[in-house]
């Protein structure tokens, strides 16, 4: 071996996947750190709000009769839980909300598919959907009560009157805004209308459908509470109306707080499902 050969060192280049893996791990750490920071700020704002509310109530900066304060509200919730009275009201409201949420999303999406499938039907129904969407749903509540009776069914239908039309309009607009080039590709290969929908329209509209689920969580709660205001003898909406009638505003605020907590839990469940579905699609 020559002197020149002895000076030659052979270096093995690092595998490119190792660098990509390191970048990915660093990205995940940044995301995790950012989520922690966001959650910390959110909790700080919430705690500050309750602290200011408690202070304002105890120092009489606000009218305690109307606004109460957190310690009294939590004591009311604790008393209702201990007596078992809360669970019946919470259970019926959650059942009505879930029914309105699921049925509203499914029916709204189905109607959107039908009017996308038939342009003629879309033109016929378009003015009616606009008019129905503009109607105050509180005004329709008494009609539903007369039609379906004072109970679970009429409250669910009131909820559907809110969730269905919103879902239909949003999802249908998403179908119409799908890139025309995607549709052309499927048709060039001889795809039928059903295949165009399955291969191009539905996958492209998937994020919009998921976003509609998030919107419908809030819409479903609005519909149920409105229905319970009108007719219910059980439920969180009934507790709110009852609290106003007997001037127990602590009961009103405790019911509103419970609604906020459960609605947030439902929203987070939808977010969890969204993550799982998006991972599965990838």
Say if 47 falls within a structural domain.
yes
CA atoms within 13 A on the CB side of 263: 19
Count CA atoms closer than 13 A to 265's CA, side-chain side.
Answer: 9
- Would you say residue 3 lies in a domain? no
- Assess whether 144 and 37 both reside in one domain: no
Q: Write b or e for each residue in 70-98: b if 16 or more Cβ atoms lie within 10 A of its Cβ, otherwise e.
A: bebbeebbeebeeeeebeebbebbbebbe
165 and 78 belong to one structural domain: yes
Q: 171 and 33 in one domain? A: no
Phi, psi of 12 (to 5 degrees): -90, 120
- Say if residue 35 is in the same domain as residue 111: no
pLDDT of residue 130: 83
Range of the domain at 30: 18-58
Does 213 share its domain with 275? yes
Residue 13 lies in a domain: no
Q: Is residue 6 included in any domain, yes or no? A: no
Q: Are residues 145 and 252 in the same domain?
A: yes
Alpha-carbon torsion (111, 115, 118, 124), positive or negative: positive
The answer on 85 and 201 residing in a single domain is yes
pTM over 0.85? The answer is no
Q: How far apart are CA 166 and CA 108, in angstroms?
A: 8
Residue 10, domain member (yes or no): no
Cα(281)–Cα(275) distance, integer angstroms: 10
In a domain, 2, yes or no: no
Give Cα 179 to chain centroid, integer Å.
Answer: 26
In this structure, the answer to whether residues 23 and 152 fall within a common structural domain is: no
Of 58, 90, 111, the one marking the end of a domain is 58
Q: What is the pLDDT of residue 4?
A: 46
CA nearest to 225, candidates 155, 140, 124, 148: 155
Verify that 132 and 253 share a domain, yes or no.
Answer: yes
Report mean pLDDT in 10-residue bins for the chain, 282 residues: 47 58 77 87 94 92 89 93 91 92 92 92 87 80 83 88 89 88 84 85 85 87 88 88 91 94 91 75 57
CATH number at residue 91: 1.10.3720.10
**Which of 183, 213, 225 lies closest to 277, judged by CA?**
213
- Angle, helices 202-231/249-281, rounded to nearest 10 degrees: 160
Is the same domain home to 46 and 147?
A: no
Q: What is the pLDDT of residue 18?
A: 63
Point out the domain boundary residue: 41, 58, 75: 58
Let me know whether 189 and 243 are in one domain: yes
Question: Which residues, other chains included, contact 69 with Cβ-Cβ below 8 Å and sequence gap of 6+?
Answer: 53, 54, 56, 57, 58
Domains of the chain: total: 2
Same domain flag for 51 and 114? no
Query: Is 7 within a domain?
Result: no
Q: Which of 26, 58, 90 delimits the end of a domain?
A: 58
pLDDT at 280: 59
Place of tokens 């509209």: 205
């Amino acid at each position: 071996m020559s002197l020149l050969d002895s000076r030659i060192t052979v270096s093995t280049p690092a595998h490119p996947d190792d660098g990509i893996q390191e970048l990915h791990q660093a990205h995940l750490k940044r995301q995790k750190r950012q989520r922690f920071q966001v959650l910390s700020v959110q909790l700080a704002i919430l705690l500050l709000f309750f602290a200011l509310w408690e202070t304002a109530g105890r120092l009489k900066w606000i009218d305690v009769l109307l606004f109460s304060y957190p310690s009294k509200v939590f004591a009311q919730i604790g008393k209702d839980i201990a007596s078992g009275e809360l669970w019946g009201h919470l259970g019926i409201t959650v059942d009505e909300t879930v029914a309105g949420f699921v049925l509203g999303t499914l029916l709204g999406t189905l109607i959107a598919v039908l009017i996308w499938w038939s342009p003629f039907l879309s033109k016929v129904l378009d003015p009616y959907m606009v008019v129905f969407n503009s109607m105050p749903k509180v005004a329709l509540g008494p009609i539903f009560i007369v039609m379906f009776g004072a109970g679970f069914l009429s409250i669910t239908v009131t909820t559907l009157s809110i969730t269905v039309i919103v879902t239909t309009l949003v999802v249908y607009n998403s179908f119409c805004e799908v890139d025309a080039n995607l549709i052309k590709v499927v048709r060039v290969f001889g795809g039928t209308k059903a295949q165009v929908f399955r291969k191009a329209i539905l996958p492209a509209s998937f994020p919009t459908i998921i976003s509609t689920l998030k919107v419908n969580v809030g819409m479903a709660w609005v519909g149920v509470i409105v229905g319970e205001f009108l007719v219910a003898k059980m439920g969180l909406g009934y507790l709110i109306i009852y609290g106003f009638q007997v001037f127990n505003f602590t009961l009103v605020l405790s019911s509103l707080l419970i609604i906020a907590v459960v609605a947030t839990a439902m929203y987070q469940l939808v977010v969890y499902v969204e993550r799982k579905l998006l991972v599965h699609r990838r």
